[in-house]
Amino acid sequence: MNADLSFETSLRQHGFRVTPQRRVILKAIWDNGEHASLADVLAAVQAVDANISPATVYRAIELFIERGLVIATRIGNQTVYEIASDHPHHHLICRVCGMDQKLDHARLRGLMDDIEQDYHFLVETEHLILLGLCAHCRPTAA
Ligand SMILES: [Zn+2]
Ligand SMILES: [Zn+2]
């Protein structure tokens, strides 16, 4: 991910008119750095500008998703948002405490290459959610 990404450049590249509200909303998702729920984004946005309504935030996020700037992922019964990165990545999510560990695509590349070779199937999934139990939530007694 480009560290010196300017929100204005990114918005423009994706065909957006840069409005101050959109900049605040995108920055809220960016600053979260991980999966942000709608409530997370709303709280961060309204901390900056209390006049931005939830409906505006929701509409902006929907637009960001449509234009490929933001990824929405359904985890359990919640939808979470994150900035779409240039490179594919995946997540290990603990189904008990919600721990979210980002997984580099390189970790899965070998598996995907094997699948391509053995099944002649090219995997295009770029955002895989692996549900399970983190070290903390795993029962210690066998
Ligand atoms: Zn992700
Ligand atoms: Zn856990």
Examine the domain organization and report whether 77 and 35 are in the same domain: yes
pLDDT at 139 over 80: yes
Domain around 95: 89-132
pLDDT per residue as tens digits for the range 79-111: 999 988 766 889 999 999 988 898 989 999 999
Tell me how far the alpha carbon of residue 117 lies from the centroid of ligand 1, in angstroms: 26
Examine the domain organization and report whether 77 and 119 are in the same domain: no
Q: Which ligand is nearest to the CA of 85?
A: 1
Query: How high is the pLDDT of residue 52?
Result: 94
Examine the domain organization and report whether 57 and 93 are in the same domain: no
Query: How high is the pLDDT of residue 39?
Result: 94
Q: Which ligand is nearest to the CA of 101?
A: 1
Query: How high is the pLDDT of residue 7?
Result: 65
pLDDT at 3 over 50: no
Examine the domain organization and report whether 22 and 42 are in the same domain: yes
Examine the domain organization and report whether 78 and 93 are in the same domain: no
What confidence category does residue 1 fall into, taking pLDDT thresholds of 50, 70 and 90?
Answer: very low
Q: Which ligand is nearest to the CA of 36?
A: 1
pLDDT at 2 over 70: no
Kindly state whether residue 41 falls inside one of the protein's structural domains: yes
Q: Which of 43, 63, 83 is the last residue of a domain?
A: 83
> What is the pLDDT averaged over residues 69-77?
87
Number of domains in the chain: 2
Q: What is the CATH number of the domain that holds 128?
A: 3.30.1490.190
Examine the domain organization and report whether 70 and 94 are in the same domain: no
pLDDT per residue as tens digits for the range 8-59: 677 777 777 778 898 899 999 988 877 899 999 999 999 999 999 999 999 9
Examine the domain organization and report whether 69 and 122 are in the same domain: no
Examine the domain organization and report whether 59 and 42 are in the same domain: yes
Q: How many CB atoms lie within 10 A of CB 64?
A: 24
Residues bordering ligand 2, an ion, CB closer than 5 Å = 94, 96-97, 99, 134, 137
Tell me how far the alpha carbon of residue 138 lies from the centroid of ligand 2, in angstroms: 7
Phi, psi of 77 (to 5 degrees): -105, 20
CA 35, CA 113: separation in Å to the nearest integer? Answer: 28
> What is the pLDDT averaged over residues 122-126?
88
Query: How high is the pLDDT of residue 6?
Result: 64
Burial status of residue 21 (CB atoms within 10 A of its CB: 0-12, 13-18, 19 or more)? middle
